[in-house]
Amino acid sequence: MIMIKEYRSLGESLYIETLDNGLKILVSVKPGFNSKTAFFAVNYGSVMQNFTLGEKLIKSPAGVAHFLEHKLFDNPDGSVDGAFALNGASPNAFTSYDMTAYHFDCTDNFDANLSTLLSFVMTPYFTEESVAKERGIIEQEIRMWEGRMSSVNLSNLYSCMYENHPVATPILGTKQSISEITADTLYTCHSAFYNPSNMALTVAGDVDPQAVFDAARALTPAGFAEKALPDYGHPEVLAPIKSRVTKDADVSAPQLVFGCKVMPKEGSALLRASLVSEIALGAVFGKSSPFYTTLYKSGMIRVGFSSYIDYLPGTGMFLAGCESPEPDRVLESFAQTLQNIRENGIDKRDLLRVKAATYGYKLRSLESFDSICYDLADAAFCGYEPLSEFALFDSIDSDECSRFICDNILSDNLAVSVLMPKSN
């Protein structure tokens, strides 16, 4: 049954349907726009290495989700890029910790491009020869990733924070883990996760929603398939395994990252916590905050300080970092700022300014079809109502934001990773 949701204050109209096979479809109709975007997303990312299907526990090597993303673009007739190019579309894909998505942008031939998208994602074709060839390409990606000092520093931090959760393993996997991936591995994981009940199709543009629903119904498997149940390992305690690691590296100035685990969230609680954290951290540690301006003027922050909370299946984490000649002074200032919040709360004027800026940013993101499609898929997988965060702004105040920081970011739970310039 088709549901139509009107968000009059936002000028948005959503057409929503869940097919009999479980596929969730959300279409944001944009009258008068030439551009059209479609996302075909899978609730499957790099942290879903081990899973149960039926009564069988399956352990897959790290990096399979990303490997699958690469290989699905190949079919018996060659790469699907050519089919998109013939119809004037620009395709792409990505794999994150918790999602894999295949998408395209076009102005013309939307129906033909949508058919290509739906068909190739649902039609796996792997051979041992093609897997071996792809393995070499992904090994190059891994070497590039390992050569980025920001990646190395973050990996060092995760090794301090996590004991069991697979988020500590790179999305690409490792050279060892991808050497264990075979064509059978890819077929097994595609069958487990790439079923319509574990997927979402999201579209933005001046399109006919009924035509989208009809195409999805015709080009995805019929029947409701059983979902795989991911296993994220033994639950983590909030305290880190190790409080600090410092290593020499090829950097021109010390690189600091630090963070802590936070309790995971689901559904509407996840949406609210994500928005509250974005506003609270912006007010306390953003570029207009006393914390940032003081450290920047004193030269303690050379390359921008970033801070955010990321919620993933089975875990959540606060992360922050910057380039600084004296990382310990940054950490001391951070701890002092946390203490000040506990004693005095967040300044209401700072919060109002950041809240208004955040609302404006999110409103502008509705002009980006890629952002809309991603957000709609994320809402479908995480279990909250699409575009509902705009209604939350008025109810978020400085007291809630202060409590959020005090409850989630505890100095005793922080882990720290520092890369120091090699001395000659």
Residues tagged active-site: 69
Distance, CA of 215 to CA of 25 (rounded, Å)? 11
Task: Return the beta strands (E) in 34-184 as ranges.
Answer: 36-42, 50-53, 56-59, 74-75, 78-79, 90-95, 100-106
Q: For the chain, how many helices (H) and strands (E)? A: 14, 17
Distance, CA of 181 to CA of 178 (rounded, Å)? 5
Angle at 390 between CA 389 and CA 394, to 5 degrees: 105
* Full DSSP string of 24-55: EEEEEE-TT---EEEEEEES--TT--EEEETT
The first and second tokens of residue 316, run together, are: 């959540």
* Contact by Cβ (8 Å): 411, 336: no
Nearest to 60 by CA among 73, 69, 47: 47
* Contact by Cβ (8 Å): 409, 238: no
> At residue 344, what is the residue type?
N
* Contact by Cβ (8 Å): 29, 207: yes
> At residue 18, what is the residue type?
T
